[in-house]
Amino acid sequence: MDENLIYLYMLQSFAGFGCQRIQRIWQRWKDWPAVCRSARWDDWKDLGISRDLFVEWRAYYRRERTALKKKWKILVSSGVRAISYWSEDYPQLLREIYSPPVILFYKGNLDCLSSKCLAVIGTRRSSDYGKRVVRSLVSSLTGYGWTVVSGMAFGIDSLAHWTAIRHGVLTIAVVGGSLDKAYPRSNQKLFDRIIDSGGLVLSEHDWDKVAEPWHFPARNRIVSGICQAVLVVEAPQKSGAKITARLALEQNRPVLVVPGSIYNSGSFGCNELIKEGAIPINSINDILLELGEKVMEKSVRYQAKNEIETVLLKQLKRGSQALDELNLKEVSAATILAHLNELQLKGVVVENKGRWELV
C-alpha cells in the first residue's frame, strides 16, 4: 500500500477537513507528506483555512500521528487495503457524487469496481414475496457480467449477496462499520464468502469502528454512487432503501422498483417511488432492457431448476395454455401458479389474458 496514503489518512482523520477542503489542499501541494509537515499558516490561509483551524490541525497532527501510523500498520497486516480519490482504481462514477469518500478501505477483489454494477436493496424485514423476487432476479443476471452491490444488512441486502454468490455473480458489500469484523456479527460468514467468491467488501471507516446509526445514510451514497443503476425490491415508507433510491436520483442513476401489494406496508416505499417517477419492474427482461443489455433467448438460455419447471416449459413449447390446461400429476393448481409466477419474474414466461406462454 502506498506509504503516501498514510499522510492523507492523517488529514482525513481530522474532523475539520472534509472531502472538498482536502481536494483544495491537494491542488495546492500534490504531496501529502509535505502537507502534513507544513507548519506555516501562510501556506494554508489562501485555501480558506482559518488560523484557528490550522492551529487545531497542527495540534492534532503532533498528538495523533504516532497512533495513526500504528493503526495503519494494523490495517495493512490484517489484509485491509486502501485507495484514495486520486487513485487510478477509484471508481469514476463515485468521483462524480457530492462528497465522495477521500479514502476507501477494502478487502477482496478490487477489479469488481471496474465492472458493471447494479445495486439491489430493500428492507431488513423482507416478506416471502420480496425474498422470492430477489432470488429470481439476481439469479437471472448470471452470464450478463453485472456485479450485484448491496449493504450486507439483514433481509434483502444479505439475500442479494447470497443469491449472487450461489449463482456465480460477483458481489460487492458496502458496509457501515470497519472491516475488522462484520456488521451485523451474524453476517461474518457472508463477509468471508463474498471475499472468497471473488467479490469485494468496501468501507470508508478504517479500524475498530462500530457501525453507528448515522453511518448508514452516508454508506448508502457509496452503494448508489458506484452503480450504474439501483433496484429497490421492497421498502417501507421510511427506510434506508428509500434514502438510497433518492440519493441515486440525485446522482442521475436510474432507479428501478419492484411494485408491491397496497396491503403490504413493506411495499409502501416502493409504490411511492414509482409515483415519484421511478421505473416499475415486472421481470428480469425489464431490468436488462433498462441496463442496455440485449436479452438472450430464454428458450436457449434458461435451464429449468426442478421437475415442475421442466414439465411446464415442455408443455408451453406447444403454445399458450390456460392454467387448467397445464397437467401435472398430483400437483395442485396453486403450486403450478406459484411456479408460473416465479418463471414470469425470471422473464421466461408471460401471462396474457389468462393464458401462459413462453417469452
For residues 73 and 130, membership in a common domain is answered with no
- At residue 150, φ and ψ (nearest 5 deg) are -155, -175
Domain edge (last residue) among 77, 98, 122: 77
DSSP structure class, residue 207:
S
For residues 207 and 236, membership in a common domain is answered with yes
Mean pLDDT of 220-242: 92
Let me know if residue 89 belongs to a domain.
no
Region of poorest pLDDT, from 12-16, 88-92, 145-149, 300-304: 300-304
Of 269, 151, 158, 307, nearest to 220 by C-alpha is 151
How many Å apart are CA 105 and CA 142, to the nearest integer?
Answer: 28
For residues 284 and 315, membership in a common domain is answered with no
- The CATH number linked to 320 is 1.10.10.10
pLDDT of residue 257: 95
For residues 166 and 312, membership in a common domain is answered with no
What is the strand order of the sheet 229-234 is part of? 81-84, 103-108, 200-203, 171-174, 146-150, 116-122, 229-234, 255-257, 279-280
For residues 230 and 177, membership in a common domain is answered with yes
Let me know if residue 157 belongs to a domain.
yes
pLDDT of residue 358: 80
How many Å apart are CA 313 and CA 334, to the nearest integer?
Answer: 17
Alpha helix ranges (H) inside the chain? 4-13, 19-29, 32-37, 51-77, 92-95, 128-139, 156-166, 188-196, 215-225, 240-250, 268-275, 284-290, 298-301, 307-316, 333-345
Percentage of the chain lying above the pLDDT 90 cut: 53
Let me know if residue 96 belongs to a domain.
no
For residues 127 and 190, membership in a common domain is answered with yes
Let me know if residue 92 belongs to a domain.
no
Distance of alpha carbon 113 from its chain centroid, rounded? Answer: 11
For residues 312 and 277, membership in a common domain is answered with no
Question: Higher confidence at residue 318 or residue 89?
Answer: 89
Domain edge (last residue) among 267, 290, 313: 290
Mean pLDDT of 173-186: 89
CA-based R_g, the chain, Å: 24
pLDDT of residue 297: 56
- At residue 243, φ and ψ (nearest 5 deg) are -60, -45
pLDDT at 28 over 60: yes
pLDDT at 115 over 50: yes
- The pLDDT confidence band at residue 300, using thresholds 50, 70 and 90, is very low
Q: How many folded domains does the chain comprise?
A: 3
Let me know if residue 82 belongs to a domain.
no
> Is the separation of the CB atoms in 351 and 327 below 8 Å?
no
pLDDT of residue 299: 46
Let me know if residue 128 belongs to a domain.
yes
Domain edge (last residue) among 290, 311, 343: 290
pLDDT at 114 over 90: yes
For residues 116 and 159, membership in a common domain is answered with yes
Let me know if residue 85 belongs to a domain.
no
For residues 166 and 31, membership in a common domain is answered with no
- The pLDDT confidence band at residue 146, using thresholds 50, 70 and 90, is very high
- The CATH number linked to 159 is 3.40.50.450
Let me know if residue 222 belongs to a domain.
yes
For residues 119 and 234, membership in a common domain is answered with yes
For residues 45 and 127, membership in a common domain is answered with no
pLDDT at 313 over 80: yes
Domain limits for position 248: 106-290
For residues 259 and 126, membership in a common domain is answered with yes
349-352/355-358 β-pairing: antiparallel
Helix (H) or strand (E) holding 148: strand 146-150
Question: Higher confidence at residue 239 or residue 104?
Answer: 104
Q: Which range has highest mean pLDDT (45-49, 117-121, 241-245)?
A: 117-121
Residue entry with cell 483544495: 24
